[in-house]
Amino acid sequence: MRRTRRAGQRGRLPETTIIHITGTDRDGEAVGRPASWDAADGSPPVVFMRAEPSGRPALAPGERVLARVQPLSGGRYEGRTIRRLAAAPGRILGVFHPGTRENRLVPTDRRARSEWVVPSGEDAGAGAGEIVLAEPLAQHHRFGLKPARVLERLGNMGDARSVSLIAIHTHDIPLEFPERALAEAERARATPRGRRTDLRALPLVTIDGGDARDFDDAVFAEPDDSGGFRLIVAIADVAHYVRPGSALDRAARTRGTSVYFPDRVVPMLPEALSNGWCSLRPEQDRGCLFVEVGVDADGRKRSHSFGRGLMRSAARLTYEQVQAMFEAGGPAEAAAAFRGQGSGGGPTPRDRARRRSADPTVRPRWGGDTHTTDVATLVPHLYGAYRALLEARTARGTLDLDLPEQTIALDHRGKVTSVAPRPRLESHRLIEEFMILANVAAAEELERCHQPVMYRVHAPPSAEKLEALRGFLHTLDITLAPGDRLHPRDLDRVLRRVAGSPEAPLVNEVILRSQSQAAYSPDNIGHFGLALPRYVHFTSPIRRYADLLVHRALIRGLGLGADGLGDDEAADFEAIADHITATERRAQLAERDAVDRYLAAYMADKTGARFAARISGVTRFALFVTVVESGASGIVPVSTLPDDHWRHDETGQTLTGQYTRLVFRLGQEVDVRLAEASPVTGGLVFHVLQGMPRPGKRFRRR
């Protein structure tokens, strides 16, 4: 939503505005940001709120207030509360520390710079190191720590699941399902055949990560007579179980999406569905919504048709298995490679039972049909279709950023045992291309049927961000096409030019930051990153509410049942789009916060150690660095840099020392020493070693 400004004062707050409280300063006073802000104006300004009058509770994170603001230096503001807008006071999530004189509450949010005091009798029996949820109490003086009352005890900080629990409560992610929703899920039964298309004779397979618990998409491909391919993408029929207006539907809409942590998943649907009747388990009949697509040898879509079917997954495959099977060569070698993906020891009875349902050399019969197919034979066809789709994607010109991801491994106690780069296999891209193809077909079909469409949209970069990107690329002697003619292939051409060079991570990072955030909308503006004129999410209705809406619209538009899109929700598409976009971003923030805390816990016993790192952010007040080995990110305060006058160049993304002539730039490789690690907040503080004087010596300013 774009806020209204006075007299064209772009990038400035109006005198009266709504402020969202995000934390506290070192004196315990509330700090916030404007509730509405145009991203084209850069980062939202910080608003330092004045203390509340005596006798009123202090402002706490999560509250929204109508405030009168006045500008301060450096783009900051001072705010004075006019009226609190939330019916309930803000909440403080923190770790309880009892004391002989007073009890302290240390907030888990790193934006909170001050602790709270818990008066005697207001601790609800909390013990040392417990994570608690508290609320502010009325304050009787303006100085000293603000008082708070413990409302709920959530568990000990050292417990295996405490890290994700902090993220869940910090971002208000619903954890428990309503009883009625659980009861509806428990009443679910197998999908009847009815008028569904019987796909059980097709060797559809699921391909997911090794730790995946729910399988909502299955794929099949075979060559056709024209040199192209026939593809089928089958998706779990969640709409059959989650009807519009039901308790399950209300719970799913509220959550908007599943949230994934290293130690747990907070699902959008109860486990009876997400890991049961809506999961495409091998050798079990499941209802599905499917699309059959014909593509030519160059990967261009020639035709598509949707239907409602009954399928039986022939195998549950992992990305690593599929990659190994393809690289092995022919079907016999692929089958041998698949068998080799098991454990190093001899197979146990449980192993043999598991392989019996997934081994491609086992030839099952589907529905009494005499047709049998090796899953190993399917893999080359999948790769053949993928290569054709990849050729079409290259011709279309999309933006393919090379951004490393990390995998966090935990033991049974929740302790981080390892942090490693997530492998990027061709099998990952294979599934991505199949899903993109199905999503495009769904968008086109809904438009053809004149149904409401919940588009997945991605706007081009704003003019301001593009201008900053051009200025940065100019420092590397790279030019970019004018903004009114910019295409994703122009940015991808830049990425290919720097691929393999020392500047590649830097350029990928800067181009990523220039992009708009994708969102859901009933109004189509296209998808810039994928270079597609229309796009929806169709392939993951177990974990995304947007996909469920697309399924319902297809069911209504194609006359595939009475459980299609309702008139009420069709009329409410705009509000639903705003809500599910917000829940998606909430999930992303929660997942990132949890990873940060796990990494901080992993690094906590390494204080004082040196690491190779890369500068991932440059501001006036600090550098941000990312450790190459683990992906852990932290801050380098400018006060810890060599004694100098540091000049910030926003266009070039640099900090330059006036006297030392040291230059720190985005993407630069640096050596750092870990100075501080806080698992409670996920915060890491580093010191850069480049340019630091030897002990006993200082830089002399000229």
310 contacts 196 by C-beta, under 8 angstroms: yes
Work out the number of other CB atoms within 10 angstroms of the CB of residue 71: 13
Percent above pLDDT 70 for the chain: 88
Quote the pLDDT of residue 694: 54
pLDDT in tens, 661-699: 899 988 888 999 999 998 888 899 999 998 765 554 444
Q: Which of 165, 239, 233 is nearest to 199 (CA)?
A: 233
Integer Cα distance of 300 and 317 in angstroms: 27
> SS3 sequence, 150-182?
EEEEEEECCCCCHHHHHHHHHCCCCCCCCHHHH
Token reading at 670: 């640096």
Q: How far apart are CA 670 and CA 660, in angstroms?
A: 17
User: Does 367 score more than 60 pLDDT?
Assistant: no
Residue 464 pLDDT exceeds 80: yes
The type of residue at 67 is A
- d(C-alpha 444, C-alpha 182), whole Å: 35
SS (H, E, C) 349-386: HHHHHHHHHHCCCCCCCCCCCCCCCCHHHHHHHHHHHH
Residue 611 DSSP class: E
Residues 588, 258 contacting (CB under 8 angstroms): no
The lowest-confidence range among 130-139, 253-262, 345-354, 567-576 is 345-354
Q: Which two tokens stand for residue 324?
A: 């190994």
Alpha carbon distance 543, 214 (integer Å): 9
With 80 as the cut, is the pLDDT of residue 626 above it?
Answer: yes
* pLDDT bucket at 333, cuts 50 / 70 / 90: low
Quote the tokens at residue 611. Answer: 């690491």
Stretch 399-422: mean pLDDT:
84
Measured CA to CA, the distance from residue 659 to residue 682 in angstroms comes to 34
Query: CA torsion angle for 73, 75, 80, 84 (degrees, to 10)?
Result: -160
Question: For residue 361, what are the β-bridge partners?
Answer: none
Instruction: Tell me the C-alpha distance between 677 and 680, whole Å.
Output: 9
- Per-residue pLDDT tens for 192-244? 999 999 999 999 999 999 888 789 999 999 999 999 999 999 999 999 999 99
Residue indicated by tokens 């950023």: 401
For the chain, residues classed under CATH 2.40.50.140 are 16-84, 607-688
Q: Please list the residues that pair with 77 across neighbouring strands.
A: 47, 71
Maximum Cα interatomic distance, the chain, rounded to a whole number of Å: 89
Class of domain 607-688: mainly beta
- In this predicted structure, what is the pLDDT of residue 352? 33
Q: How confident is the model at residue 348 (pLDDT cuts 50, 70, 90)?
A: very low
- The top-level CATH class assigned to 16-84 is mainly beta
Amino acid at 484: D
Tell me how long the chain is.
Answer: 702
pLDDT band with cut points at 50, 70 and 90 for residue 362: very low
Is residue 601 classed as helix, strand or coil in its secondary structure? Answer: helix
Average pLDDT, the chain: 86
Torsion 204-431-589-65 (CA) sign: negative
Asked if 115 and 107 touch (Cβ cutoff 8 Å), the reply is yes
Burial group, residue 669, by CB count within 10 angstroms (0-12, 13-18, 19+):
middle
Question: What is the rounded distance in angstroms from the CA atom of residue 202 to the CA atom of residue 372?
Answer: 9
Q: How far apart are CA 60 and CA 136, in angstroms?
A: 7
Q: Is the pLDDT of residue 495 over 70?
A: yes
User: What's the pLDDT band for 137 if we cut at 50, 70, 90?
Assistant: confident
- For the chain, state the CA radius of gyration: 28
CB atoms < 10 A from the CB of 34, how many?
21
Six-digit token string for 179: 């009883």
> Distance between CA atoms of 133 and 475, rounded to whole angstroms?
49
DSSP state at residue 276: I
Residue keyed to tokens 């009949």: 285
CA nearest 592: which of 398, 342, 408?
408
Residue 250 has pLDDT above 70, yes or no: yes
Q: Report residue 209 as tokens.
A: 């990560």
Picking from 220-229, 322-331, 348-357, 468-477, which range would have the lowest pLDDT averaged per residue? 348-357
Say whether 619 sits in a helix, a strand or coil: coil
Tell the residue number behind the tokens 């201008």, with chain if given: 467
CB burial readout 568-584, b (16+ within 10 A) else e: ebbeebeebbebbbebb
Which own/partner pairs from 472-478 qualify as long-range (CB within 8 Å, at least 24 positions apart)? 472/510, 472/651, 472/652, 472/653, 473/507, 473/510, 475/651, 475/652, 476/503, 476/507, 478/507
Q: Which residue has the tokens 């299609």?
A: 564
Cβ atoms of 492 and 400 closer than 8 Å? yes
Which tokens is 188 given? 């679910």
Q: Tell me the pTM.
A: 0.83
**What percentage of the chain carries pLDDT values higher than 90?**
54
HSE (side-chain half, CA atoms, 13 Å) at 634: 32
Task: Look at residue 537 in the predicted model and tell me its pLDDT.
Answer: 98
In single-letter form, the type of residue at position 331 comes to P
User: What does the pLDDT average to over 592-616?
Assistant: 92
pLDDT, mean of residues 49-78: 84
Return the residue matching tokens 């697309």: 550
Do 545 and 268 form a contact (C-beta atoms < 8 A)?
yes
Tokens of 123: 């601790």
Strand spans (E) along 87-240: 92-97, 103-107, 116-118, 130-136, 146-156, 197-198, 205-208, 217-223, 229-236
